[in-house]
Amino acid sequence: MPDLETLIPEVTDDDIDWVCELLGLDPFDTPRREYLKCCTTVDLSACPGSGKTTLIVAKLAILARKWQYRTKGICVLSHTNVAREQIEHRLGRTVVGQRLLSYPHFIDTIHGFVNRFLALPWLYSRGYPVETIDDEIALRRRWFNLHHATRSGLERNRYDHALLRISDSDFSLGDIRWGRGSLGRSSTTYQALVASCKESIERGFHCYDEMFVWADALLQNHAQVPVWLTHRFPLIILDEMQDTFVRQAKFLSTVFPRTSDRIIVQRVGDPNQAIFDAPEANSAETDFFPDPDECIAIPNSYRFGNQIAALASPFAVQPVGTAGLTGIGPKGSRMPEHEGGHAVFIFPDDSTVGVLDAYGKHAVSILGIELVSKGLITAIGHIHQDDPEVSPGHAHYPKSVGHYWDGYAVEITRKDPTPRTLAQYLRAAQSLTADGNVLSPGVEKIASGILRLARRIGDIGDLKRKSRTHRAVIEKLESAPEERATYKNIVRRLLADREVLSEADWPALSESVMLVAAALCDGDTDKSKAERFLEWPKDDPSIESKEKSPTSNFIPNVYRVLVDDGSIDIRLGSIHSVKGQTHLATLLLNTYWHDQSARRMMPWLIGESANENGAGARDVQRLLHTYVAMTRPSHLLCLAVPLSALGEDQASERNIDLLKNKGWRVAEIIDGEAQWRD
* List of residues 6+ apart from 169 with CB closer than 8 A: 213, 214, 216, 217
Q: How confident is the model at residue 495 (pLDDT cuts 50, 70, 90)?
A: confident
- What residues have CB less than 8 Å from 342, skipping those under 6 apart? 307, 308, 311, 636, 637, 638, 663, 664, 665
Whether 4-115+228-298 and 306-408+557-676 share one fold: the answer is yes
Does the domain made of 306-408+557-676 have the CATH classification 3.40.50?
A: yes
113: pLDDT strictly greater than 50:
yes
Whole-number percent of the chain with pLDDT over 90: 55
Q: Which residue has the higher pLDDT, 157 or 306?
A: 306
In 3-state terms, what secondary structure has residue 427? helix
**This model's pTM is above 0.85:** no
Write down the pLDDT at residue 178. Answer: 66
SS3 386: coil
pLDDT (average), residues 578-586: 91
Burial class (CB in 10 A: 0-12, 13-18, 19+), 158: exposed
Strand partners, 642: 347
* Residue 198 confidence (pLDDT): 93
Give pLDDT, residue 299: 95
User: Is the pLDDT score of 277 beyond 60?
Assistant: no
Residue 286 pLDDT level (bands cut at 50, 70, 90): low
pLDDT band at 1 (very low <50, low <70, confident <90, very high): very low
Q: Is there a contact between 596 and 381 (Cβ–Cβ < 8 Å)?
A: no
Average pLDDT value for residue range 62-91? 89
Q: According to the model, what pLDDT value does residue 566 have? A: 82
Residue 282 or 555, more confident = 555
| 546 has a pLDDT exceeding 70 | no
* pLDDT exceeds cutoff 60 at 193: yes
- pLDDT tier, 5 (very low <50, low <70, confident <90, very high otherwise): low
- Check residue 278 and give its pLDDT: 42
Q: Report the run of H or E that residue 508 belongs to, with start and end.
A: helix 506-519
Q: What is the CATH number of domain 4-115+228-298?
A: 3.40.50.300
Mean pLDDT of the 385-391 span: 86
Q: What are phi and psi of 433, to 5 degrees?
A: -115, 25
Domain regions of the chain by residue span: 4-115+228-298, 135-207, 306-408+557-676, 411-530
